[in-house]
């Protein structure tokens, strides 16, 4: 008789443990979770090699239950699977259905019928437990109400099933006297079930292993017998790298995707409702939007959790094949329909021009599949539509999405960076899609418990041990209770680096974590090591090569928000290609393919834009140039769409800005610049003849007018404007009105909302502002000098700092008001000074802080990056003597910033980034006159009108007027949105200027 004990010197074989899963068909998600949890628990170090877990269920892969024609489904299952009472654990899960009824011959001992096969399985398990003490039986109930439309033709059947579940649970769990008969584990949503089940199963198996250890005989250290069988090694739940780094998870990596259970439940709930046709996952860059869809939602749709049949999915990003989003979608569809005929380019053209083409492709994909199967059209990184694709194609692609959302058996899903949500809403069709069906899911960064699962879960799935304290250290470095923007991606990169260092040993350690630089240092360490290893190339330094590379891999929008840009390998300068190849090997760049399968390159993740200091500094220093490139492409597209009219061509400073934009440029942009150049030459020829005439007229005008200090040509221009010739078309145009920004109406709290201001900024009070327009920049010398020359006013001094595009200075309130009135008369438009309330409303741009930009600790948020104020360049200058500075300091008036804005005095307008509404220099550079008299906020009007001599019922002092915004001469106390300065209306100084408004 063979021995039943383990061979001498060998551990015993794994202990078998059978788990039976009993449930109706409406908890398919839970059945998937049971399979996933069993796989994960099987890989725990404590149980590997000790327990042989086997999951038994009618839908378990490998169950091989043959549905014989002569048997009911339940009889077939009974004959093909072990009975529940023969297993070690039975998990019974119920929600809104009892399941399929059994034939009459299946009945309880009292003769009453079983409500369903699931009840029979549950009671069979209970009978075994009462007779033999096994199996353990766990009963679960989902408490969330099922979503059933009131118009569902099977509504009564759904209600009957719900009532049957209620009766079954009441009879099973409650005694007639109201006491508890048996236990039940309730949960609200599938992820709650996952957490409960994982904890219960681990605890149950831990107790089993302890009992096995106590019962096991001592093992002698004798050598094993030659023919002794070896215990089969425990197989991990996943083979491969458990941490994908900066790359998004894929559907195949679902076994190592952890921590987003509630969000997966929400997405499944959205698409379970057949009325949801379009949904969007919106979140900050690095929040894990793409991974949530790819590894969280799509695997479950492929399993048929919704509709009872596997779904198809079609994923693309708008710019993955270049600037044509239709080509990106066509490439993916063509891969799914290889026999469709025609080329990818043909399909792209059809998708753009034929409203029915996508519907035909979807029908072909779904042909022959079960009625419950649907197609998920998944547009990942939708923000590419606003920064990387041809703007002329955007409305058509949005229209395609709208048609797809209305196509039978097609659902649409997009991921979108939150900072591009406003850009998406500017597209009327897309705004409708985002609000229809209430399908927008905001995705916040994961909290600490979720982050802990993201760290530990993948390690367990591959059989990897984490040193005690490592997970807590990573969580602490990630930000404590909640991870910030980009932290998730940086944590993933650090974990990937950690695995590459210690994964071969099967253990990740704190020492290795410190060696890679932790979360904050891992990306920077890898990038800088790559640069050092590469060294200077032939004829080009690494910094120069990086600049060439960054120009092609980074894009910005109108608000200078940086985003990835996909570049063609052929567009890279030869000197930057070795660096690009090395950064790709370091997994900081990702290679792909664009149009015609041409190789492409892009940043591995947008978190690199912040996490790599060298790249972050470069983006900050070149944001305006990158925005100019974006604006050039948009202007060229509008010119093309309008039929290339001459009126759409630009000259002057705007053309100069476009020409200075960095490469690469599209062929259309190059054509546009050449056309602008031709217009410039034509204008110069006409202008030369006109100037000769103007010079003659100006000489005469200057002889008869009082001396003003202006050259004859400018005097001639002023005369022409006064004569109504200032707004002639094309190159003969002399009068250029200020560039305006539309300001939306709204309410805001005016005054010292922070609490560190002056008395005249209080009380804080609400003002209601009507829509108006405000100058994008302050009025320049170029603007004001024409007015002064035309009206014979003295030339305001520039202190020797320069004129042109610098803000005009040394102008009084009276002169500022006169300029606004003159421009209104000449143009017949309502130009004026803004009211004080309008000015502060626009300066705040929807914020409630002292300044419009985010102020946090650290050098990255220096005020000198956002405004021209009292800084180190002024401190180093000779404008004030040391004695004067000490005297001002004693009065609290000299406290320069510990940074340098690179301008000692005034800066050319637009030299600093705009606020969120697109307005430059609202803080600093020069004080700006507003229309109001001096008044106290206790009597402030409710609306945004100015307090003037005509204002009634308000105490005021019109012998003094109001300035706003601070200047190059002032410290931080005066560079706030709420600050007020009240000089006399005739007051002039070299830090006083103006900005114009216009009524709508």
Name the one residue in this structure whose structure tokens are 């984490």.
466
Sheet holding 136-142, edge to edge: 51-56, 15-22, 89-94, 136-142, 185-187
Q: Where are the domains of the chain?
A: 15-147+156-212, 260-444, 449-524, 538-611, 742-774+814-999
Cis before residue 135, ω within 30 degrees of 0?
yes
Is the Cα torsion angle 627, 628, 629, 635 positive or negative in sign? positive
CA–centroid distance for 914 within its chain: 21
Q: Specify the long-range contacts of residues 644-649, CB closer than 8 Å, at least 24 apart.
A: 644/675, 646/679, 646/730, 649/675, 649/676, 649/679
Q: Are 534 and 580 in contact (CB under 8 A)?
A: no
CA–CA gap between residue 968 and residue 115 (Å, rounded): 82
Least confident of 99-103, 794-798, 834-838: 99-103
Residue 178 zone, left/alpha/beta (φ > 0; ψ -120 to 50; rest): left
The secondary structure element, H or E, covering residue 379 is strand 375-379
pLDDT band at 700 (very low <50, low <70, confident <90, very high): low
Asked whether the predicted pLDDT for residue 828 surpasses 60, the reply is yes
Q: Do domains 15-147+156-212 and 742-774+814-999 have the same CATH topology?
A: no
317: Cα within 13 Å, side-chain hemisphere:
22
| Average pLDDT score over residue span 179-184 | 69
Structure tokens at 68: 């014989």
| Average pLDDT score over residue span 795-822 | 94
Sheet holding 772-775, edge to edge: 740-743, 772-775, 997-999, 831-832
**In 3-state terms, what secondary structure has residue 622?**
helix
Note the pLDDT tens digit of each residue in 318-364: 999 888 999 999 999 999 987 777 889 999 999 999 988 999 999 99
Torsion of CA 534, 540, 545, 551, to 10 degrees: 180
CA–CA gap between residue 691 and residue 713 (Å, rounded): 7
Torsion of CA 97, 98, 101, 107, to 10 degrees: -170
Note the pLDDT tens digit of each residue in 364-411: 999 999 999 999 999 999 999 988 888 889 999 999 999 999 999 999
The secondary structure element, H or E, covering residue 442 is strand 440-443
CA–CA gap between residue 671 and residue 689 (Å, rounded): 28
**What pLDDT does 4 receive?**
42
Tell me the fold of 742-774+814-999. 3.90.1580
Structure tokens at 620: 């900050």
Is the Cα torsion angle 658, 664, 668, 673 positive or negative in sign? positive
Q: Are 536 and 542 in contact (CB under 8 A)?
A: yes
Structure tokens at 651: 């000259």
549's CB contacts (< 8 A; 6+ apart) are 572, 576, 579, 580, 583
Q: Are 615 and 647 in contact (CB under 8 A)?
A: no
**What pLDDT does 697 receive?**
57
Q: Are strands 740-743 and 746-750 parallel, antiparallel or unpaired?
A: unpaired
683: Cα within 13 Å, side-chain hemisphere:
19
| Average pLDDT score over residue span 691-705 | 54
**What pLDDT does 11 receive?**
62
260-444 CATH choice from 3.30.56.10, 3.40.50.300, 3.40.190.10, 3.40.50.12500: 3.40.50.300
Which is more confidently placed, 300 or 8? 300
Task: Return the DSSP state at 445.
Answer: P
276's CB contacts (< 8 A; 6+ apart) are 270, 411, 437, 439
**Both ends of the chain: CA-CA distance in Å?**
101
CA–CA gap between residue 24 and residue 162 (Å, rounded): 12
Note the pLDDT tens digit of each residue in 233-256: 556 667 888 999 888 899 999 999
15-147+156-212 belongs to CATH 3.40.190: no
Per the confidence metrics, is the pTM higher than 0.75? no
Structure tokens at 980: 């007020």
Beta bridge partners of 17: 53
Return mean pLDDT, the chain. 84
Torsion of CA 454, 455, 461, 466, to 10 degrees: -170
Which is more confidently placed, 688 or 240? 240
Name the one residue in this structure whose structure tokens are 């990086």.
546
Task: Return the DSSP state at 89.
Answer: E
Least confident of 97-111, 287-301, 751-765: 97-111
Which is more confidently placed, 427 or 776? 776
| Average pLDDT score over residue span 28-48 | 85
């Amino acid at each position: 008789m063979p021995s039943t004990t383990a061979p001498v010197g060998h551990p015993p074989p794994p202990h078998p443990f059978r788990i039976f899963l009993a449930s109706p068909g409406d908890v398919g998600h839970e059945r998937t979770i049971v399979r996933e949890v069993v796989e994960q628990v099987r890989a725990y170090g404590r149980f590997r090699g000790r327990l042989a877990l086997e999951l038994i269920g009618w839908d378990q892969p490998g169950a091989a239950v043959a549905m014989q024609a002569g048997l009911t489904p339940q009889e077939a299952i009974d004959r093909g699977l072990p009975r529940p009472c023969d297993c070690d654990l039975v998990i019974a899960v119920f929600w809104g259905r009892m399941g399929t009824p059994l034939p009459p011959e299946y009945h309880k001992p009292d003769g009453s019928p079983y409500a369903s096969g699931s009840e029979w399985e549950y009671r069979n398990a209970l009978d075994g437990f009462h007779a033999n003490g096994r199996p353990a039986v766990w009963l679960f109930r989902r408490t969330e109400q099922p979503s059933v439309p009131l118009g569902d033709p099977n509504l009564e059947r759904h209600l009957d099933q719900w009532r049957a579940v209620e009766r079954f649970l009441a009879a099973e769990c409650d005694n007639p006297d109201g006491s508890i008969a048996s236990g039940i584990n309730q949960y609200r949503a599938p992820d709650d079930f996952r957490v409960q089940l994982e904890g219960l199963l681990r605890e149950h198996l831990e107790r089993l292993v302890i009992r096995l250890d106590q019962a096991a005989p001592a093992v002698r250290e004798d050598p094993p017998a030659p023919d002794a069988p070896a215990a089969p090694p425990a197989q991990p739940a996943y083979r491969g790298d458990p941490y994908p780094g900066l790359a998004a998870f894929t559907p195949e990596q679902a076994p190592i995707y952890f921590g987003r259970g509630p969000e997966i439940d929400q997405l499944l709930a959205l698409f379970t409702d057949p009325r949801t046709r379009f949904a969007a996952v919106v979140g900050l860059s690095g929040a894990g939007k793409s991974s949530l869809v790819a590894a969280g939602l799509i695997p479950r749709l492929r399993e048929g959790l919704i509709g009872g049949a596997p779904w198809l999915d079609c994923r693309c990003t708008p710019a993955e094949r270049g600037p044509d989003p239709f080509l990106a979608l066509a490439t993916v569809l063509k891969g799914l329909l290889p026999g469709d005929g025609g080329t990818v380019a043909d399909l792209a053209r059809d998708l753009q021009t034929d409203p029915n083409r996508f519907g035909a492709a979807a029908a072909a994909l779904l042909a022959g599949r079960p009625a419950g199967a649907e197609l998920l059209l998944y547009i990942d990184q939708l923000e590419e539509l606003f920064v990387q694709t041809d703007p002329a194609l955007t409305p058509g692609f949005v229209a395609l999405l709208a048609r797809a959302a209305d196509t039978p058996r097609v659902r649409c899903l997009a991921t979108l960076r939150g900072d591009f949500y406003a850009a998406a809403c500017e597209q009327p069709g897309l705004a409708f899609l985002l609000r229809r069906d209430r399908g927008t899911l905001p995705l916040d960064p994961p909290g600490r418990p979720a982050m802990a699962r993201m760290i530990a879960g993948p390690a367990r799935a591959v059989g990897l041990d984490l040193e005690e304290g490592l997970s807590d250290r990573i969580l602490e470095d990630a930000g404590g209770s909640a991870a910030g923007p980009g932290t998730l991606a940086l944590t993933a990169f650090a974990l990937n680096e950690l695995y590459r260092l210690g994964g071969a040993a099967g253990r990740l350690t704190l020492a290795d974590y410190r060696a890679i630089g932790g979360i904050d240092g891992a990306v920077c360490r890898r990038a800088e090591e790559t640069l050092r290893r590469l060294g200077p190339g032939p004829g080009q330094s690494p910094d120069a090569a990086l600049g060439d590379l960054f120009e092609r891999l980074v894009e910005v929008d109108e608000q200078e928000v940086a985003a990835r840009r996909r570049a063609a390998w052929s567009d890279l300068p030869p000197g930057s290609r070795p660096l690009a190849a090395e950064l790709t090997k370091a997994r900081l760049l990702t290679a792909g393919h664009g149009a015609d399968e041409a190789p492409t390159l892009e940043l591995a993740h947008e978190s690199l834009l912040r996490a790599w200091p060298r790249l972050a500094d470069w983006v900050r220093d070149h944001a305006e140039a990158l925005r100019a490139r974006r604006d050039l492409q948009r202007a060229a597209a509008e010119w093309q769409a309008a039929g290339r009219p001459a009126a759409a061509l630009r000259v002057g400073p705007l053309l100069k800005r476009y020409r200075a934009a960095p490469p690469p440029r599209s062929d259309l942009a190059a054509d546009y610049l050449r056309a602008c150049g031709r217009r410039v030459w034509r204008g110069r020829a006409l202008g030369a003849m006109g100037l000769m005439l103007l010079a003659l007229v100006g000489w005469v005008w200057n002889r008869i007018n009082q001396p003003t200090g202006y050259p004859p040509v400018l005097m001639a221009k002023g005369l022409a404007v006064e004569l109504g010739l200032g707004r002639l078309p094309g190159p003969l145009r002399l009068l250029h009105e200020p560039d305006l920004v539309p300001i939306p109406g709204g309410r805001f709290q005016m005054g010292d909302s922070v609490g560190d201001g002056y008395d005249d900024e209080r009380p804080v009070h609400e003002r209601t502002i009507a829509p108006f327009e405000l100058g994008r920049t302050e009025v320049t010398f170029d603007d004001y000098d024409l007015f002064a020359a035309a009206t014979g006013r003295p030339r305001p001094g520039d202190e020797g700092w320069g004129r042109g595009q610098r803000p005009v200075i040394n102008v009084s309130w009276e002169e500022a008001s006169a300029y606004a009135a003159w421009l209104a008369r000449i143009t017949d438009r309502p130009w004026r000074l803004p009211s004080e309330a309008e000015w502060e409303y626009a300066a705040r741009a929807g914020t409630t802080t002292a300044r419009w930009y985010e102020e946090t600790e650290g050098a990255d948020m220096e005020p000198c990056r956002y405004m021209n104020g009292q800084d180190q360049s002024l401190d180093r200058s000779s404008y004030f003597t040391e004695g004067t500075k000490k005297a001002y300091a004693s009065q609290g008036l000299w406290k320069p910033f510990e940074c340098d804005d690179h301008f000692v005095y005034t800066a050319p307008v637009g030299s600093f980034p705009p606020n969120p509404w697109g307005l430059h220099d609202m803080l600093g550079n020069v004080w700006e006159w507003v229309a109001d008299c001096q008044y106290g906020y206790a009597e402030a009007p409710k609306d945004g009108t100015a307090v003037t001599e005509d204002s009634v019922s308000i105490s005021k002092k019109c012998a003094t007027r109001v300035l706003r915004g601070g200047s190059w001469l002032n410290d931080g106390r005066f560079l706030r949105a709420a600050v007020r300065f009240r000089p006399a209306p005739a007051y002039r100084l070299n830090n006083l200027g103006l900005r114009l408004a216009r009524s709508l």
